[in-house]
Structure 1
């Protein structure tokens, strides 16, 4: 069976999932509603905590009932989330919306990559996973880029309108998922949930390479996402709101190109060297931008996105090689579970430090933390070279 239909639908699904006009001004909106950076970052923290709570059950759920219907439920949760944000006038309703946001992320996290992998494996094109992951993920960034420009401009006139515009793309995800075809290569598990989870954990225990790769990806996700969500507050020190939207659009456009060509680059240079080179380069540039903040700092940080897609595809390709078919979504969800817990704790700490020291210094600290991931990937690379 040709994978073309599923890949085309998944590409558009990814576009609408990340068509978020709120994204470039979310921390500004949340801190405006709640009155502080700490409570504003707490909204992100709650979504990640909710994602952590739902993560493993939804991964097992995906392995049991199928990838397609898991995506449908994720679209419904995402629609409810943005509705809560739009109606919020204080912290409690923002918190409810963030719980639905966390449920959406949990339903998508291990499931959607497993859907693509299973679709390609059914068509005996598994070796093309990095290529198609890059192409379909590029639509994430296209959606973010277009919506960032739209959100930044509209936010100058009305922040609530930014939220209401975001409802339609979330609902489009529900509709698109209904036209997808469940890959037959994925056999729905009907066994005991706890036995299924225990088997996935045993695979982590037995595979040292998987554990190291997972620790690095958990660090990147937990700390890196908190940093990315906070950067508009740093940008606001130098740029007006409409320019923040332009900056995010530039970042997403560069990331889109990075995703699009990532498969070709990884095929030529291999995943680990691409990942290591990308991390060292992007963290060095960001460290300079935050350490010596000027009006050019937001531009420098935005331009590091040219490497983001290649890093993400390389990291995911390495992990997918280590995951087993029966627990593919569950194992991916376990990684995201740990990353979500880290994010939930780190985002609040980030907000507290930012309220005390301002936006620039916390970003500098984060870059130092994220650079430690280079050493984890280097240890895997060194062992791989020793075996060669």
Structure 2
């Protein structure tokens, strides 16, 4: 039998719904964000970048194609809770191995449904991303409870999701050796590199520059990940040292932000972020428009880029920076996810550009 659950927001509003998945035995805190993807809920659930967040799906029906482990982006679920308008109890897909309710119980993740997700999304768009909590306690809520919500903050997000030991993923007939610096890497980044003949050594976020350089890579991939990029001063310092070696480097999402910070740029928090598979981005050199998949709450401030860097991709909704290329080193980065098949395959060319950088690097 479903519990009656309340979502309490830091602006004082609350919404009532019903639970599925793991029961809410204590208050569940998180940053409440929405994602506009109409498909790909499995990738959302297993994306480490959602660590510490309560994720709202704007698409009303979720779970209709079940649980498919082959599509997972990591070994675990890192979000704090999941909110949908309606969840499908009887999925239909020949690849399905279960349903959302059972999966969430196994992973100890609470779900909330029968809630007006359209209204909730409008609230977030107007007020901005805010903290919230799931609770069984009925209203009213005291001002002290609301104030404590405002003080909540995700801590050590990258450390919480990164692997603890290096792992090797060989490619069939591998011809390049790539170090994947794991800040919360999605599995499809490894798949795309392997598919192009890259042997991948994934290393923990807390790896030193010396450890990475000692692997003698042809290239370095900076992965996606959760949290405020400025919360990683140690990583930024080590990345600055690695950049001094002029090894071809490609950054995605958090990796893009950390690379910019290592070169003296600044980042800032967006009002409600970009999360979904339908974000239009313009390539500045060609004028071509791409539909991209995104999941981030922070952006590189283009006006703070150093003289040797230039913005080469721009978000067409809010004109924020979506990509940077560097003239002083063989490096580039993008804020969106070229491995996520949003177009569905139009931005995969960025992996090929990375291979071209490594080829030129080898040629001297």
TM-score bucket (shorter structure): under 0.3
Question: More strand by proportion, 1 or 2?
Answer: 2
Of the two structures, which has the highest relative contact order with CA contacts closer than 8 Å and spacing of 6 or more? 1
Question: More helix by proportion, 1 or 2?
Answer: 1
TM-score calculated relative to the size of structure 1: 0.26
TM-score calculated relative to the size of structure 2: 0.28
